[in-house]
Amino acid sequence: MKILLVAEYRDGKLLGSVNELIAFAAKMGGDSAMFVVGSEAALPAYDGKLYLADAAACGEFNPDVHKQLLLEVVAKEQPDMIALSHSSYGWDLAPRIAFALKAAQVSEVVEVEDGVLVVSACNAKLRRTVNPKTKQTVVTLQAGAFGLAEAPTGSPTVEKIGAAGGGRLEFGGYEAAEAGGVDLSKAEIIVSAGRGIGKPENVEMIAALAKALKGEYGASRPVVDSGWVEHKRQVGTTGQTVTPKLYLACGISGAIQHLAGMKKSEFIVAINTDKDAPIGDVADVLVVADLKQFVPLLTEKIKLL
Amino acid sequence: MKILVCIKQVPDMESKFKVAASGKWYDTADLAWRMNEYDEYAVEQAVQVKEQVGGADLTVLCIGGEQVKETMKKALAMGCDRGVHVADDKAAEKEPFEIAGIIAEFARDKQFDLIFTGMQSQDRGSAQVGVLVAEMLGIPSISTIVQFAYADGRIETRRELEGGVKAVVKAMAPALVTCQLGLNTPRYPTLPNIMKAKKKELLSLPVADLLKVDARQETTKMYFPAKKGGGLVLEGELGQLADQLIQILKEKTGVLA
Amino acid sequence: MEFTREIYWNVGHGAATLVPMYLLFIIALAILVYGFRQRIAVYRQGLPLDRTDHLGERVVEMLKDVLLQKKVIHVAWPGLLHGLFFWGFFLLLIGTTLIVIQADFTDLLFDIKFLKGTFYKIFSIVLDLAGLVAIVMLGGLLFRRYVLKPEGLVTKPDDAIMHGLMLTILITGFVIEGARMAVTETGTPLAPWSPVGMAFAGLLSGAGEGTLLTIHKLTWWFHLLLAMAFIGLIPFTKFRHILTTSANYIFADRGPKGKLVSLDLENEESETFGATSLKEMTWKDIFDADACTLCKRCQDRCPAWATGKPLSPMTVVNQIGEAAFTAPDSQLIELIGKDVLWSCTTCRACQEICPAAIEHIGKIIELRRSMVLMEGEFPGDEVMAAMEATEVNGNPLGIGYATRGDWAEGLGVKTVGEDGDVDILYFVGCYASFDKRNIAVARSFIQLCQAAGVKVGILGREEKCCGEPMRKMGNEYLYQTLANENIELINAAGVKKIVTTCPHCYNTLAKDYRDLGLEVEVEPYTVFLERLINDGRLKVTAADLTCTYHDSCYLGRHNDIYDPPRALIRAAGGTVVEMERNRAEAFCCSAGGGRIMAEEKIGERINIRRVQMAQATGVGVLVSNCPFCLTMFEDGVKGAGIEESLRPRDIAEILAERIVK
């Protein structure tokens, strides 16, 4: 089995998801090679062949050109599988590659069981196993689903590939997220509010608990989308990825996008009325209770300590 | 100007799911159905463009059984001019490539200037169909947009990237975009529009007419994930739970020690 | 002596008096008619509405309300002042009419006099006292308005004219009498029968007869002029309420209370729904403003106004009227303000207390209807989400419909689909089906029914929201969709009686659903349980409980059900320590009018205000019988930080604990 890994490069940096790709390749066994439109100055710790195109010349975001270059590498390497991260870059590029290669694309793989690809469905409530029928398969990997026990080492054998111009999309640069204030990625203790808080007034009780614990408060996407909490406190794939010592998920069901943002927390406590909520999969402790009653009570007790 | 928006009817995610007898998909009994949340944003944006460009014609397409017509009526009530229902009782058994193939086959000779889809569906979540359709039709596509503007054949969007960063991406029509949550605020259909929707054209096409490609993958099994993590489940009286939790936090984490 | 007096004494009884007098009267009447014809043309901008059915009964009700001043004196201060003033003035009017009848007709044409003897003595004293009472009461009203200046009372130049004119008419009346008596009656046995006149005569006694005659004559004509001016001014000042408020009693809404007009959604021709301008309101909506005297009793009781929201029911009513007269093309929603319109909880405190039979709520709902149905606008995104959740799962909580009947697990209750042979259909409602706190109430109710040997069936997962919060928010379409589905189910089940534990469901099924084809009897559970206890079918032990009781708006003001719940509390061994604002004066919990779906963003929280009222009674338990109230109070005691000292409970829970096995 040969896998071609597609790494991501953004804003002058190689994204850490490259390690997840390496871990996946390791899990699958066999050989791997890597492709990235990036820069010599940002190489992954990877002991294999790296096909490198210059992002400055091709554009960091240019699906048509990236696809072209990747197809050239595919033609050379003839991999059985092409793996990308299930990210805004990966899920955009993958279908283009898959179509060109007449390959099946299996999206957001969460695990591999005896060589069989497993993806999730219906807000992480269900799983399904997928059988690709084509010679080559394109897969995208769920963020954080695959990881290495230790940080990878090594340095790649770099083969530069020609830059190409063109592309039908015009990339006009990045716009930073709203600045200032909270940096959850640095917080040691985070209490997060999910849809279960029911109404914006209840954000207060979450913030109060966070304060009692001397931590920060965050929220899942639906809460931010409803305007109850500002975006900079959003935890999840489109918000912040956090790795606190303690993460308290209040009324959060555990949709994949949120889990991806917090499942690397050291200790996770979930407060939810639903015993079967997917958050339970990552939680060290699941307190089955209505957060609207439990959270204030917990806060009071903590304050009395 | 011709616009197409593709929608899917999915179960309400609050429903309690069960695996179907076939073991390969979820059981459709006891589910409440609704428009895929991502598609609501797509419909809203498509209607906004239609309102912006005088004389634009907006078609909504949906694949599925008879019941999806309810969801199509909502799209019509939001402002689509006409509906195309691809009648297919086995839509759930199809994989993204087939779905894209059906849509592309329909759109191929219609010369749509803009095609809107949701970025992914809430049940399958493969996030492929939109971009695949664009590749099949040979038109540019921009995925995961949270901002959209159209003027004189040019589209300007913002893609949503991880960490809340946005990327400015532009393209020339004809083009396809896939819509992310938060792109706009989907309107609530007004009653006059709901009533007008009842009279709008809703064409039913048999899927066999449009399915010209073969499946490239199949789902072999659907199941509930085993409870992992060895996590402790605490239940009981609130006061006791709070005490228990505080004890655990003291013991297992450095917090509250 | 003869107990009588010469009518037109000193003024003259001939043509020189009668012609100008009747001429002025005719002119005054003409101005009155003209003034009202102008106003009627403005009312007619609104849509037609038939309020003349059962005309005889309507007129009788009007006469009772006007003559007994029932609604006015219901609020003793200043109601009694107005009532007494009215009776005084009314008696004077009768008196004057009798004089005219005798002087210009029976005596003139037939030589018949009846104002004599004992009758005249009574006549004299009654009118004197009437006049005195009228002056004193008017003085009181004036004092209240101009000296006490109660908060929120709007005073206009109009008011000064009214007070001034009335007082002058009354006082000149006594001056005339006093002058006459000073010349003709002082010292006679008749004089004491006009004590006030005597007092005025005393004041004028210093003047010589010639002066007195002049004073008398001039004041008489002056008094006549003022009286005619008064008549002519009626349509142009707040005086109009004499006729318009009385007319409003005739045109009143005969109920059922709280039932809204059902929109005809079948009509494919309809292009607009709800109201945005005067053309879409009814003539009554405009006329109500004319009947309004700005007494502010509605404003004083509005829970939104009391907690800092911009909604004043009185202002809404009057803005519509003002627009009708001065700016008929007004966009009413912009004029009144969206925040104002969304703040209403339809608690009915305004309409219950209004002494002018004005209908505040319907206007607000019509304007809401156009915002929702024509613009897809709601007070907030959370409300739109609740509406959409209801469309998908049949409940505003967004919980999967398939579990709607799960609350009854283990109780042995079947759906009517499984077993249609039931004594009652229990229409559970969304909160009792899905909300943990309220599920306890539903289960308690079942336990009570089972203890009483009543066989209960439910609709189970097929039951949909009754649609009431959606309807009150203005979403008539969603309401009718839900209602039709429920009615079809209920009719198919063939049940004979429906009982609800939610007053909103009760009110909607018992009244609103009649327009859509539901004919089954509907009863609220408090009435149902009271009967079971009275009939001896349900036995509960009385165990001590000191509590206060909250009259929910939809059981209380909307349905006049105040006693059965109190009887139930007593049967349970409870003693009710009433809050200051109880029964028809109860203060809303805030969740009505569809606002259970909305966030309260402006001012203070209404529910916190109410739980503080409950706390002020010093008891530890707040009893209610509505799932919205219970939810609001649970929220409220936490918000107010008093959850340790005040416990919200439903009457069903309390009774269930006391079932005699």
Chain centroid to CA B143: 12
Quick check: C179 pLDDT over 60? yes
User: Residue C613: what pLDDT?
Assistant: 97
Asked if C413 contacts C406 with a C-beta cutoff of 8 angstroms, the reply is: no
Write out pLDDT tens, residues C533-588. Answer: 999 999 999 999 999 999 999 999 999 999 999 999 999 999 999 999 999 999 99
Q: Which 3 state secondary structure label does DSSP give B59? A: strand
Average pLDDT, chain C: 95
In a domain, B215, yes or no: no
> Where do the CATH 3.40.50.620 domains begin and end in chain A?
2-160
In a shared domain, residues C500 and C472: yes
In a shared domain, residues C522 and C555: no
Contacts of B31 in chain C (CB under 8 A): 400, 402
User: Residue A183: what pLDDT?
Assistant: 79
Contacts of A221 in chain B (CB under 8 A): 181
Check CB contact of B194 with chain C, cutoff 8 Å: yes
Contacts of C374 in chain B (CB under 8 A): 190-192
Of C265, C384, C402, the CB nearest to B16: C402
Q: Which 3 state secondary structure label does DSSP give B238? A: helix
Check CB contact of B109 with chain A, cutoff 8 Å: no
User: Residue C200: what pLDDT?
Assistant: 94
Domain encompassing residue B257: 227-257
Which residue type is seen at B115?
I
Domain encompassing residue C213: 15-44+64-250
User: Residue C379: what pLDDT?
Assistant: 96
Determine whether the interchain pair A108/B13 forms a contact, defined as Cβ–Cβ distance below 8 Å: no
Check CB contact of C478 with chain B, cutoff 8 Å: no
In a shared domain, residues C456 and C328: no
Contacts of A226 in chain C (CB under 8 A): 381-382, 385
In a shared domain, residues C150 and C221: yes
With 0-12 CB in 10 A as exposed, 13-18 as middle and 19+ as buried, what is C290?
buried
Asked if A202 contacts A271 with a C-beta cutoff of 8 angstroms, the reply is: no
Check CB contact of B154 with chain A, cutoff 8 Å: no
Return the structure tokens found at C478.
């969603």
Quick check: A272 pLDDT over 90? yes
| Partners of A132 in beta bridges | B217
Which residue type is seen at C393?
N
> Where do the CATH 3.40.50.1220 domains begin and end in chain A?
184-304
In a shared domain, residues B33 and B83: yes
Write out pLDDT tens, residues A87-130. Answer: 999 999 999 999 999 999 999 999 998 889 999 898 778 999 99
Interface test with C, best of B78, B188, B190 (most C CBs within 10 A): B188
What gap in Å lies between CA C555 and CA C626, rounded to an integer? 8
In a shared domain, residues B237 and B203: no
User: Residue A179: what pLDDT?
Assistant: 60
Check CB contact of A105 with chain B, cutoff 8 Å: yes
Of A201, A226, A290, the CB nearest to C381: A226
In a shared domain, residues B47 and B110: yes
User: Residue C631: what pLDDT?
Assistant: 93
H-only helix segments in C553-601 = 563-571
Contacts of C375 in chain B (CB under 8 A): 190
Quick check: A181 pLDDT over 70? no
Determine whether the interchain pair A200/C381 forms a contact, defined as Cβ–Cβ distance below 8 Å: no
User: Which position has the higher pLDDT, B164 or C346?
Assistant: C346
In a shared domain, residues C164 and C209: yes
Write out pLDDT tens, residues A198-242. Answer: 888 899 999 999 999 989 999 988 888 777 888 889 898 777 888
Which CATH class, in words, describes the domain spanning A2-160? alpha beta
With 0-12 CB in 10 A as exposed, 13-18 as middle and 19+ as buried, what is C618?
exposed
Q: Which chains touch B (3 or more CB pairs under 8 A)?
A: A, C
What does the DSSP assignment read for C591-646?
-TTTGGGS---SSS-HHHHHHHHHHTTT-SEEEE--HHHHHHHHHHHHHTT-TTT-
Interface test with B, best of A65, A70, A136, A175 (most B CBs within 10 A): A175
Of A123, A238, A301, the CB nearest to B13: A123
Return the structure tokens found at C44.
């007619």
Q: Which of B67-71, C108-112, C470-474 has the lowest mean pLDDT?
A: C108-112
The mean pLDDT of C522-532, rounded to a whole number, is 97
Write out pLDDT tens, residues C460-501. Answer: 999 999 999 999 999 999 999 999 999 999 999 999 999 999
The mean pLDDT of A276-299, rounded to a whole number, is 90
Q: Options 3.40.50.720, 3.40.1360.10, 3.30.750.200, 3.40.50.1220; which CATH number does A184-304 get?
A: 3.40.50.1220
User: Which of C534, C569, C587 marks a domain boundary?
Assistant: C534
- State the nearest Cα–Cα gap between C405 and chain B, in angstroms: 13
Domain count for chain C? 4
- State the nearest Cα–Cα gap between B12 and chain C, in angstroms: 7
Asked if A190 contacts A210 with a C-beta cutoff of 8 angstroms, the reply is: yes
Quick check: A54 pLDDT over 60? yes
* pTM of the predicted structure, to 2 decimals: 0.91
In a shared domain, residues C636 and C488: no
What gap in Å lies between CA C156 and CA B191, rounded to an integer? 43
Counting residues of chain A whose pLDDT is more than 90, the rounded percentage is 62
Contacts of A301 in chain B (CB under 8 A): 242-243, 246
User: Residue B229: what pLDDT?
Assistant: 57
What gap in Å lies between CA C198 and CA B113, rounded to an integer? 98
Contacts of B195 in chain C (CB under 8 A): 268
User: Residue C90: what pLDDT?
Assistant: 96
Check CB contact of C403 with chain B, cutoff 8 Å: yes
Write out pLDDT tens, residues C403-442. Answer: 999 999 999 999 999 998 999 999 999 999 998 899 999 9
User: Residue C586: what pLDDT?
Assistant: 98
In a shared domain, residues C576 and C621: yes
Counting residues of chain B whose pLDDT is more than 90, the rounded percentage is 85
Check CB contact of B25 with chain C, cutoff 8 Å: no
Residues 6+ apart with CB under 8 A from A276: none
In a domain, B163, yes or no: yes
User: Residue A231: what pLDDT?
Assistant: 82
Of B135, B217, B243, the CB nearest to A131: B217
In a domain, B161, yes or no: yes
Closest residue on chain A to B254 (Cα): A245
In a shared domain, residues B201 and B232: no
- State the nearest Cα–Cα gap between B16 and chain C, in angstroms: 7
Average pLDDT, chain A: 90
Contacts of A96 in chain B (CB under 8 A): 131, 135
User: Which position has the higher pLDDT, B252 or C500?
Assistant: C500
In a shared domain, residues B84 and B153: yes
Determine whether the interchain pair B16/C403 forms a contact, defined as Cβ–Cβ distance below 8 Å: yes
Q: How many CB pairs under 8 A join A and B?
A: 244
Determine whether the interchain pair C382/A199 forms a contact, defined as Cβ–Cβ distance below 8 Å: yes
Q: Which 3 state secondary structure label does DSSP give C192? A: helix
Cα torsion A278, A281, A284, A285 to 10°: value is 40
Of C377, C402, C476, the CB nearest to B30: C402
Peptide bond preceding C256 in cis form (omega within 30 of 0): yes
Asked if A35 contacts A63 with a C-beta cutoff of 8 angstroms, the reply is: no
Contacts of A200 in chain C (CB under 8 A): 599
With cut-offs at 50, 70 and 90, classify the pLDDT of residue C205.
confident
What gap in Å lies between CA C604 and CA A69, rounded to an integer? 63
Q: Which chains touch A (3 or more CB pairs under 8 A)?
A: B, C
In a shared domain, residues B198 and B239: no
Domain count for chain B? 2
What gap in Å lies between CA A22 and CA C575, rounded to an integer? 74
User: Which position has the higher pLDDT, A6 or A305?
Assistant: A6
Nearest to C18, CA basis, from C197, C305, C313, C221: C221
In a shared domain, residues C550 and C521: no
In a shared domain, residues C496 and C597: no
Quick check: C103 pLDDT over 70? yes
Counting residues of chain C whose pLDDT is more than 70, the rounded percentage is 100
Reported ipTM: the value is 0.91
CA angle at residue A73 from A71 to A75, to 5 degrees?
A: 70
Nearest to C335, CA basis, from C297, C260, C281, C262: C281
Of B126, B165, B223, the CB nearest to A176: B165
With cut-offs at 50, 70 and 90, classify the pLDDT of residue A143.
confident
What gap in Å lies between CA A280 and CA B230, rounded to an integer? 9
Of B161, B171, B224, the CB nearest to A170: B171
Interface test with C, best of A293, A299, A300 (most C CBs within 10 A): A293
Contacts of C599 in chain A (CB under 8 A): 199-201
What gap in Å lies between CA A290 and CA A98, rounded to an integer? 45
In a shared domain, residues C185 and C120: yes
In a shared domain, residues B244 and B161: no
Interface test with A, best of B14, B161, B166, B250 (most A CBs within 10 A): B161
Phi, psi of C394 (to 5 degrees): 75, 15
With cut-offs at 50, 70 and 90, classify the pLDDT of residue A187.
confident
With cut-offs at 50, 70 and 90, classify the pLDDT of residue A177.
confident
Quick check: C173 pLDDT over 90? yes
H-only helix segments in A160-214 = 203-212
Q: Which 3 state secondary structure label does DSSP give B81? A: coil
In a domain, C3, yes or no: no
Write out pLDDT tens, residues B100-110. Answer: 999 999 999 99
Determine whether the interchain pair A120/B234 forms a contact, defined as Cβ–Cβ distance below 8 Å: no
Return the structure tokens found at A117.
């690809």
Chain centroid to CA B105: 19
Contacts of C382 in chain A (CB under 8 A): 199, 226
Closest residue on chain A to C435 (Cα): A290
Determine whether the interchain pair C373/B14 forms a contact, defined as Cβ–Cβ distance below 8 Å: no
Q: Which chains touch C (3 or more CB pairs under 8 A)?
A: A, B
Check CB contact of C393 with chain B, cutoff 8 Å: yes
In a shared domain, residues C218 and C306: no
C-alpha distances in angstroms, C590 versus C115, C311, C346, C434, C600? 60, 13, 9, 20, 9
The count of residues in chain B is: 257
Write out pLDDT tens, residues C587-632. Answer: 999 999 999 999 888 999 999 999 999 999 999 999 999 999 999 9
Determine whether the interchain pair A226/C436 forms a contact, defined as Cβ–Cβ distance below 8 Å: no
In a shared domain, residues B63 and B188: yes
